[in-house]
Structure 1
Amino acid sequence: MIPKINGLGRSFAGVAAYCLHDAPEPDDRRPRTSERVGWADTRNLATFRPERAARLMAATAKAAPDLKRLAGGSRGGRKLAKPVLHYSLSWAQDETPDKGEMSRAVDGSLEALGLDGHEALIVAHEDTRHPHVHVIANRVDPETGKAATLGNSKLRLSRWAEGYEREQGRIRCERRVENNERRRAGQQLLRPAGERPRHWARIRREGMQPGRARRTRKPRREDQINMEAWRHGEAEAWEAVADGRESSFRHLETRARKEWAELHKRQEEMRQRLDRESRTVLGRLRIWRLDRSLRELTGAIRGREDLVKGWREDLDRYHKGERAELGKAHGERAQEIERGWRKFYRSRLVDAERSAWAVRERMRERYETRERDRTITRIVVPRPPRPRGPERGGGGFER
């Protein structure tokens, strides 16, 4: 069993159209066929027609303030921006679960996420070798109008999948079981041999593609500037941003890896020291002096197991807080880098627009000069003045 959360969304109709039809093709982005759909079902909806489920769930999400008021709560609060939860459950290729088994698995996963009373659309696909089912759930509770909290949803599904495989009598993912045990013990997760740890900085750097990060603001009046020169300047600006951003995140990743290694080493030394000190009376007394709790003095002398276990839990909570602070510091540093390069990119766009405007002005001046040089100016020779008086052919001025 492999549960996978595809993410949160805003449109029930969009994800329902994807699940209830065949996969889109490059030349057909909205296919009308549904040959890959094996069966479809609903949960907590007034209709059994899958094509109407998306409309009903969207109506429930839109009526969340009214549902809160009817339930006796306040209509206030921030509006839920992404009420759609889309995830899938996949079985192994050698497994052949029927509709009933898939439905029971979906109900168990919804219960693990705290969505057992919420509206959901279930669609099973048959276009792959491994059986799998898609679940579209509404985060808004149809009774209270409140949105479900999905914190640690991946860990919830991981623990549920482990329990599901144990019920089936065969563990197919040993690493998931080991990682869940290490999570409970507060230890570092296991990774495949030769696989590089995927730090958050590397994920951010690799996931930032030009289509998402390159938000180009085109000039408003394209007819008055040289667009070719502007595109050239924008491309140079983006190349500088991409190179500098990659270098900054590489440096941050190296620094973060070093700091995380030092933190894990220091925390492991503290855990080992606590284990060594808790084995002897003098060591427990030293821990008690640090703790300064008189009522635990007798327990420290006798070496009560619950007291030592409590010390370990306190140390784990302290270590968890340290890891959270370090991760927050690295995240703030990454945001500073993003803001800095975004500001640099915008300033370079302004410079590119100014230079493109200047190029357009220079081209216009050259054109006018060239046209003026090509113009043939007609030279007009002034005629002599017409003779007057006696010069006209004789005769003078007679009165």
Structure 2
Amino acid sequence: MIPKINGLGRSFAGVAAYCLHDAPTPDDRSPETSERVAWTDTRNLATLRVERAAWLMAATAKAAPDLKRLAGGTPRGRKLAKPVLHYSLSWARDETPDRQEMSRAVDGSLEALGLEGHEALIVAHEDTRHPHVHVIANRVDPETGKAATLGNSKLLLSRWAESYEREQGRIRCEERVRNNERRRAGREVVRPTWERPRHWARVRREGMQPGRARRARGPVDEGWVDIEIWRRAEAQSWEEVKDGRMQEFSRLESRARKEWAELLKRQEDMRQRLDRESRTVLGRLRIWRIERSLRELAGAVRGREDLVEGWREDLDRYNKGERAALGKAHADSARRIERKARDAYRRGLRDAEQQARITVQDLVQRAAWEMKERGPSMTRVPVRPPRPRGPERGGGGFER
């Protein structure tokens, strides 16, 4: 069993269209066929038509403030930006689970995530050699309107998958069992930098993914270079560059993780402080003094909701700018490391070509040495017949 969280999203309709139809192709980005869909099912949805499941889940997410009010809570708080959870459950190729077994596994995974009471759409596919099922869950609770916290969702699914395999009587992923044992013992599971999973949106934003510094495939002029000597020298220069390059990226990643944690904590404290200050008159006046707008003085005293929402939007815009600046700084650092490694590697390539350069004198000495090793030998040299001249070249003319 391999559970995989594909991520959080904003559109129920988009992920449902992908799961309920065939995979898109370069020629058809929105296919209408659904041949790969084996069966579909729903959880906690008052409809039998799966086409309406995405619409109902989107309506529930949009009505989250009203659901909170009806449940006796406060409708305040930040709006949930990504209410969609999409994950998949895959079995091995030699396993043949039926629909009942797949449904039981889906219910177990939802319970492990604390989403057993939430709305969900289940779609089983049969377009691959391994059986798998997709689960689209709504993070918003349809009774309380609160969003589910999914901070440790990967660890929860990992533990559930281990228990599921133990129930089946066969452990298929030994590494997962060892990692869970280390976590239960209080020891952190640390993977090498090059094996750690990366969030590709962050990779594109910050440039944290090391580029490919090793570009050369051969010397510039292979005719005057000893290939074996060049290959050994090139490999040695790459080893010298690679170790320092990976260490630089590891230090950059550790520093970036610390700076991002500090930035997000500071921004979260600012949001919480804004929410606390906006509940009292004195707090709103303090915020208004920062804004310095006489036009909004009356609205600050009355606690006008649109004014407070505008303050939140301004704060979110400021925080977004801070995150962009920090990501740009990390991207510049990554590019400097890559540029430094590339320059060092190119210097190593020039040294490798100098070491492997063959001169004419070397060729003459090598030929003499080979002749000395072989010794004298009688070799028949073919004699080319003389080239005809005059009228005989065309086969005509006078005869002798």
- The superposition leaves residues 152-176 of structure 1 with CA deviations (integer Å, 9 ceiling, x where unpaired) of 1000000000000011111111110
1:253 CA drift (Å): 2.5
1:328 is aligned to: 258
Q: Tell me which structure has the larger Cα radius of gyration.
A: 1
The residue number in structure 2 matching 1:12 is 12
TM-score normalized by structure 1? 0.54
Quote the residue 2:275 is aligned against. none
2:120 and 2:136 in contact (8 A); partners too: yes
Match of 2:84 in 1: 84
Shift of 1:183: 1.1
Distance of aligned partners of 1:339 and 1:115 in 2 relative to their CA distance in 1, 3 Å threshold? same
What corresponds to 2:249 in structure 1? 253
Identify the residue that residue 208 of structure 1 maps to in structure 2.
203
Cα drift, residue 70 of structure 1: 0.6
SS in 1 for 2:194: coil
Distance 2:259 2:72 in 1: 41
Cα 1:330/1:33, change in 2 over 3 Å: closer
Shift of the 148–198 alpha-carbon distance from structure 1 to 2, 3 Å rule, reads: same
Deviation per CA, 1:55-84: give whole Å up to 9, x if none: 000000001011111111111111000000
Taking the aligned partners of 2:100 and 2:29, their CA distance within structure 1 comes to: 32
Question: Which residue is equivalent to 1:197?
Answer: 193
Equivalents in 2 of 1:205, 1:142: separation in Å? 32
The residue aligned with 1:339 is: 328
Provide the C-alpha distance between the structure 1 equivalents of 2:200 and 2:16, rounded to a whole number of angstroms. 31
* Match runs of 1:1-399 below 5 Å: 1-189=1-189, 196-198=192-194, 203=198, 208-209=203-204, 252-255=248-251, 327-329=257-259, 338-340=327-329
The letter for the 2-side match of 1:116 is E
| Partners of 2:2 and 2:161 within 8 A in 1 | yes
CA distance in 2, matches of 1:166, 1:190: 25
Q: 1:26 to 1:337 in 2, by over 3 A?
A: same
* Contact 1:113–1:157 (Cα < 8 Å) also in 2: yes
CA–CA distance in 2 between the matches of 1:67 and 1:136?
Answer: 21
Identical-residue share of aligned pairs (%): 72
CA drift of 1:185 comes to: 1.6
- Please, which runs of 5 or more residues in structure 1 have no aligned partner? 214-247, 261-324, 345-399
Give the CA deviation at 1:337.
5.8
Pick closer, same or farther for the CA change 1:340–1:254 going to 2, 3 Å. Answer: closer
Looking at structure 2, the residues matched to 210 and 74 of structure 1 have their Cα atoms a distance apart, in angstroms, of 36
Retained in 2: the 8 A contact 1:10–1:84? yes
* Cα distance change, pair 210–59 in 1 and its aligned pair in 2 (3 A): closer
Relative distance call for 1:44 and 1:249 in structure 2 (3 A) is: farther
Which TM-score applies when normalising by structure 2? 0.54
What is the letter of the counterpart of residue 339 of structure 1? K
The alignment partner of 1:121 has SS state of strand
Task: Quote how far apart the aligned CAs of 1:186 are.
Answer: 2.6
SS in 2 for 1:38: strand
Deviations along 1:221-274, one digit per CA (max 9) or x if unpaired, are xxxxxxxxxxxxxxxxxxxxxxxxxxx9966524368xx8xxxxxxxxxxxxxx
Once the two structures are superposed, residues 339-384 of structure 1 have per-residue CA deviations (whole angstroms, 9 ceiling, x without a partner) of 337799xxxxxxxxxxxxxxxxxxxxxxxxxxxxxxxxxxxxxxxx
Task: Mark the CA change 1:61 to 1:210 in structure 2 (over 3 Å): closer, same or farther.
Answer: closer
Check whether the contact 2:125–2:133 (CA below 8 A) recurs between aligned residues.
yes
Change (3 A) 1:254 1:126: closer
Distance 1:212 1:37, change over 3 A: farther
2:193 alignment partner AA: P
Q: Which runs of 5+ in 2 are unaligned?
A: 209-243, 264-321, 334-400
Alpha-carbon offset, residue 330 of structure 1: 7.3
Separation of aligned partners in 1, 2:248 and 2:326: 9
Deviation at 1:49, TM superposition (A): 1.1
1:19 and 1:211 map into 2 onto residues whose CA distance is 31
Cross-structure match for 1:224: none
Could you give the per-residue CA deviations for residues 282-317 of structure 1, whole angstroms, max 9, x where no partner exists? xxxxxxxxxxxxxxxxxxxxxxxxxxxxxxxxxxxx
Say if 1:341 and 1:184 are closer, same or farther in 2 by CA, change over 3 A.
closer
- Alignment check: 8 A CA contact 1:199 1:253 kept: no
Give the C-alpha shift of residue 151 in structure 1: 1.3
Aligned residues: 239
Q: CA RMSD in A?
A: 3.4
Equivalent AA in structure 2 for residue 328 of structure 1: K
Deviations 1:102-149 (A, max 9, x none): 000000000000000000000000000000000000000000000001
